[in-house]
Structure 1
Amino acid sequence: MSEQDPKCRLPSMGEVGAVMIGFIAIMFLYINVFSLPIQLALFTSWFLVMALGVKLKYSYEAMQRGLIDGIHNGMEAVLVLTTVGALIGTWIAGGIVPSIIYYGLSVMNPQIFLFAAFIICAVTSLSTGTSFGTAGTAGVAMMGIGHSFGIPLPLVAGAVISGAYVGDKMSPLSDTTVMTASLCRVSLVDHIRSMGLVSAPAALIASLLFLVVGFFYIGDSVDTQRADVAMRALDSHFIINGWLLTPAVIVIGMLIRRYPAIPVITFGAVLGIICAWLAQGVAPLDAMRTAYVGNAMTSDVDFLNTLLNRGGIESMLGVIALILFALGLGGLMERIGVLQAISNGFLRWANNPGRLTVSTMLGGFFGNFFGGAAYVSLITASTITEKNYDQQGIDRRVLSRNTEAGGTITTPMVPWTDGGVFMATTLGVSTLGYLPFLWYHMLVLLITVFYGYANIAIWRTTDTREETGGAAVEVRT
């Protein structure tokens, strides 16, 4: 939380509410009425929050430090986004993504495709710990296969993102998982076990839903001729070969081995350049150029033109600007005490496990909505309500589980967060387009709230005194 300047005061809940209403009004007017870019709406919102900061007696220098700190703390996501843009451009030009799509179309049954996409992305994310890496590799390929089968892209994106966030939330290799355990001061193993009570049934039910939809909806409406046309078009525009799958295997393998994501993804882009040069016959400089400008092709199949004319760092520049504005807004709100004021309000309201669960999840959602990044949501969800868990004698394993549910899980549900922007840009489907199909995410939220109000897996802590030594011993029940 922000360090309070003794000359300044915390905002009242009325002032916080006014800022929230103003923020929502700006977003609605800019996007829906004036058709202005969302980046401009977020930039304008900076000055709305600054106006409150001035009223609270904060100097401009203090608020600017908040902006800069917020942006600085989220720069890793910007760097990952940049490298993934390069990866997508070079992997398409190098025939890697087209080869994955081609072989996927040749072996996958359309009726089980959504189920398979969810499972493949879940296994990949559990193995690598990254939803971004999963969506940028396996996810892009699944979008191509699904589109070739004639399956609505928002539905495919829902299966991909649902699977990608299984690992982002549960993998011991995930930065959000490790960060949450650290913020809540619980062991990583205890944190994962606690989440498993929610994530396991949510993943099982979500996989069954995708399977049922495949059999009863896609089974009757799938256009297999479209898949055949797509395979012929891919074969005519790219050299399709099994060895072109090697870069994908190498990159995923290195991520599994816990090598840093940014250099690994960059190395994958270099492999894509080499494949474009040696396998596809692209001139070396043109192959390198695809890392920045993306791939360009023309075919008789319109959806392939849309799907494969993309990628490159250049395609991510608008997205990067959006994330920077969102991160700056989150840092500014932290600096002037908006998050602290919300925390104080929650402390008075959350007087039972059900309300406490909801307050933690709302804290995470507010962090995403106003902070624009998963790391902000995890901080707000944990710090806003942690005192209440201790006061009510509820184990911090419950806090960590609820923090991930409200923070990590809601990140791709907000259009201007790093996760929401990344998924929409990488998969080519708007956030509001894929939102109704994030079935794993919705199930996690529902089950978490149900556990809170039904008092399921709400472990208690008590302090007792052992006769020997008189030391205080925490007992978990």
Structure 2
Amino acid sequence: MKKEISAKWAFLTFLIMIVTMIITVVQLKQSPHVPLIVGTTVAAIVAKMHGFKWQEIEEMMYKGIRLALPAIVIIILVGLVIGAWIGGGVVATMIYYGLKLISPAWFLVTIMLLCSIVSLAIGSSWSTMATIGVAGMGIGLSMGIPAAMIAGAVISGSYFGDKMSPLSDTTNLAAGLTGTDLFDHIKHMLYTTLPALIISFVVFAIMGRGFADVSMKSESILTTLSVMEESFVISPWLLLVPVGVIVLVAKKIPAIPALLIGIVSGFLLQIFVQGGTLAAAVQALQAGFEISTGNAMVDELFNRGGLDSMMNTVSMTIVAMTFGGILEYSGMLKALMDVIVKFAKSTGSLIAATIAACITTNATCSEQYISIVVPSRMFANVYQKRGLHSKNLSRALEDGGTLTSVFFPWNTCGVFILATLGVGAMEYAPYAILNFTVPIISIIYGYIGFAIVKLTPEEMATAEKRSQEQDKELAGV
């Protein structure tokens, strides 16, 4: 007979995973795979102790993995894109002109602005990081800017658009789950996101002053430009490929076919423009591009990409979702959320509790979408009963869920960033300024009552009627 799993058992499961994770990742400097497997094992034992059959526990894991399948497909395609675009000279061209045009002092601000514009246009942080972000890493590293700083600027800009674009899946998800008009949701998020964006630009501008003395005519940069000119055919026409992919996604072409067009374009460019062989072009897709110029900087920039480079990311995503699947479908996550809700007495503590729930879900279930889905179900009635408009909830879900996913190395977003930008969560976290500033601003607003919208009596009556109808449907009446 199944018994409801208490918050104590859920917390113990989570605690064992986190402690194992800290020892393995922080102290031993190893991959998060094993701690996640330990967490999955403990979660399975706890579920079994509470009456779940092994077949049911297996199905929980499979359900978790199924949730991540769209992300896994994108991860694989991004690996192919990077290999194809490096082989086709697209990345080299982007880096070359970036070094020619962008001042080191303003690089961090510029790359964040570019990522903000692109992600706002296409609604995808991952696609932005895989295109503009990859080139930005190369440009910034060539200027001597630390990788963690560059990644922080790229992430801040990419997630601004992911959060604010009407084309973003997380934006539509948060609005849809809470019954909020999409554009009301976006406008309400401006209160927390715009100040964080300005703060980020100011901080990156101050950081950039430390690189004002870097000369674009320094020997290292001139050598890098020269080696790239010798190793690749550099042409502004090659920039049509990333521009084309961005335009396709902006015109609501699904991400997968848009990325496939980018892959095929890069593949053909490597053969017909760069003069590579068919075998080399296929190898760039599978194992990544390979080049040996004798220049360590150039070799480090371009020896990467390919399907194989993403297999560690894919495996970690699968393992993470087995853990998240058991927590979600056994009721352990709900038990944790219920405890968090009990502490939400005021509007400020309710907003804080919502964001804490989103962060907890990102940490335990390792998937950005679940961090929006689960808390939305937990808090919808609470907001309504307290006379708070649903757009307060939808904003809190994105402030706490969409943005904080990057801070956990085992979350699908943290895993993707490591594979794409080559920087781990522990390194870039202090520089992902927008991502941690927005939740802080959101919680402050909750306590001081700024930009918190109350339901009118008419809206309250409508919400109660809709809630009653939903209850009847669930009861099968």
Same fold (TM over 0.5): yes
CA displacement at 1:386 relative to structure 2:
2.1
Q: Distance in 2 between matches of 1:463 and 1:327?
A: 42
CA displacement at 1:291 relative to structure 2:
1.0
Q: Give the counterpart of 2:193 among 199, 224, 232.
A: 199
Q: Distance in 2 between matches of 1:40 and 1:273?
A: 36
Q: Distance in 2 between matches of 1:222 and 1:434?
A: 25
Contact 1:162 1:438 (C-alpha < 8 Å) held by counterparts: yes
- Are 1:246 and 2:257 matched, yes or no? no
- Are 1:140 and 2:134 matched, yes or no? yes
Q: Distance in 2 between matches of 1:297 and 1:406?
A: 42
How do 1:139-158 residues align onto structure 2 when only pairs under 5 Å count?
A: 139-158=133-152
CA displacement at 1:212 relative to structure 2:
2.2
SS at match of 1:220: coil
CA displacement at 1:224 relative to structure 2:
4.8
Contact 1:150 1:222 (C-alpha < 8 Å) held by counterparts: no
CA displacement at 1:303 relative to structure 2:
2.3
Q: Give the counterpart of 1:277 among 245, 266, 271.
A: 271
2:45 maps to what in 1?
Answer: 51
- Are 1:378 and 2:377 matched, yes or no? no
- Are 1:338 and 2:332 matched, yes or no? yes
- Are 1:220 and 2:225 matched, yes or no? no
Q: Give the counterpart of 1:112 among 102, 106, 112.
A: 106
Q: Distance in 1 between matches of 2:341 and 2:143?
A: 51
Q: Give the counterpart of 2:391 among 388, 397, 411.
A: 397
Q: Deviations over 1:264-314 (max 9, x none)?
A: 111101100111001111112321221111100112321221221000011
- Are 1:417 and 2:425 matched, yes or no? no
SS at match of 1:461: coil
Q: Give the counterpart of 1:209 among 187, 203, 214.
A: 203
CA displacement at 1:44 relative to structure 2:
2.2
Q: Give the counterpart of 1:457 among 443, 451, 460.
A: 451
2:286 maps to what in 1?
Answer: 292
Amino acid at match of 2:249: L
Contact 1:363 1:384 (C-alpha < 8 Å) held by counterparts: no
Q: Give the counterpart of 1:305 among 299, 304, 311.
A: 299
1:3 maps to what in 2?
Answer: none
Contact 1:125 1:166 (C-alpha < 8 Å) held by counterparts: yes
Structure 1 residues 36 and 117 mapped into 2: Cα distance closer, same or farther (>3 Å)? closer
Contact 1:346 1:385 (C-alpha < 8 Å) held by counterparts: no
Q: Distance in 1 between matches of 2:333 and 2:384?
A: 20
1:443 maps to what in 2?
Answer: 437
1:170 maps to what in 2?
Answer: 164
Amino acid at match of 1:71: I
Greater shift after overlay, 344-353 or 451-460?
344-353
Contact 1:114 1:210 (C-alpha < 8 Å) held by counterparts: yes
Q: Give the counterpart of 2:249 among 251, 255, 258.
A: 255
Amino acid at match of 2:366: G
Q: Distance in 2 between matches of 1:407 and 1:155?
A: 23
| Identity between Structure 1 and Structure 2 (%) | 31
1:186 maps to what in 2?
Answer: 180
Give RMSD over aligned pairs: 1.7
CA displacement at 1:157 relative to structure 2:
0.6
Q: Distance in 2 between matches of 1:222 and 1:426?
A: 28
Greater shift after overlay, 76-85 or 12-21?
12-21
Structure 1 residues 464 and 161 mapped into 2: Cα distance closer, same or farther (>3 Å)? closer
Amino acid at match of 2:246: I
Q: Distance in 2 between matches of 1:36 and 1:164?
A: 28
Q: Distance in 2 between matches of 1:417 and 1:257?
A: 29
Structure 1 residues 34 and 423 mapped into 2: Cα distance closer, same or farther (>3 Å)? closer
CA displacement at 1:71 relative to structure 2:
0.8
Between the two proteins, the alignment pairs up a number of residues equal to: 463
CA displacement at 1:72 relative to structure 2:
0.5
**Could you list the runs of 5+ residues in structure 2 that have no partner in the other structure?**
465-477
CA displacement at 1:253 relative to structure 2:
0.9
SS at match of 2:275: coil
CA displacement at 1:196 relative to structure 2:
1.1
Q: Distance in 1 between matches of 2:221 and 2:28?
A: 40
Q: Distance in 1 between matches of 2:436 and 2:35?
A: 28
2:118 maps to what in 1?
Answer: 124
Q: Deviations over 1:4-25 (max 9, x none)?
A: xxx4232222222211211112
CA displacement at 1:393 relative to structure 2:
1.2
Greater shift after overlay, 301-310 or 139-148?
301-310
How do 1:11-26 residues align onto structure 2 when only pairs under 5 Å count?
A: 11-26=5-20
CA displacement at 1:31 relative to structure 2:
3.1
Greater shift after overlay, 57-66 or 395-404?
57-66
Greater shift after overlay, 36-45 or 262-271?
36-45
Contact 1:381 1:407 (C-alpha < 8 Å) held by counterparts: no
1:361 maps to what in 2?
Answer: 355
Contact 1:13 1:342 (C-alpha < 8 Å) held by counterparts: yes
CA displacement at 1:114 relative to structure 2:
0.6
- Are 1:233 and 2:197 matched, yes or no? no
Q: Distance in 2 between matches of 1:191 and 1:442?
A: 20
Amino acid at match of 1:435: A
Contact 1:360 1:402 (C-alpha < 8 Å) held by counterparts: yes
SS at match of 2:402: coil
Q: Deviations over 1:181-200 (max 9, x none)?
A: 11111111111011111111
Q: Distance in 2 between matches of 1:443 and 1:458?
A: 18
CA displacement at 1:221 relative to structure 2:
5.2
SS at match of 2:212: helix
Q: Distance in 1 between matches of 2:30 and 2:462?
A: 58
Q: Deviations over 1:159-200 (max 9, x none)?
A: 001000001111000011111111111111111011111111
SS at match of 2:457: strand
CA displacement at 1:210 relative to structure 2:
1.2
**Could you list the runs of 5+ residues in structure 1 that have no partner in the other structure?**
1-6, 466-470
SS at match of 2:234: coil
2:468 maps to what in 1?
Answer: none
TM-score by length of 1: 0.94
Q: Distance in 2 between matches of 1:116 and 1:423?
A: 20
Contact 2:164 2:171 (C-alpha < 8 Å) held by counterparts: yes
Contact 1:297 1:308 (C-alpha < 8 Å) held by counterparts: yes
CA displacement at 1:326 relative to structure 2:
0.9
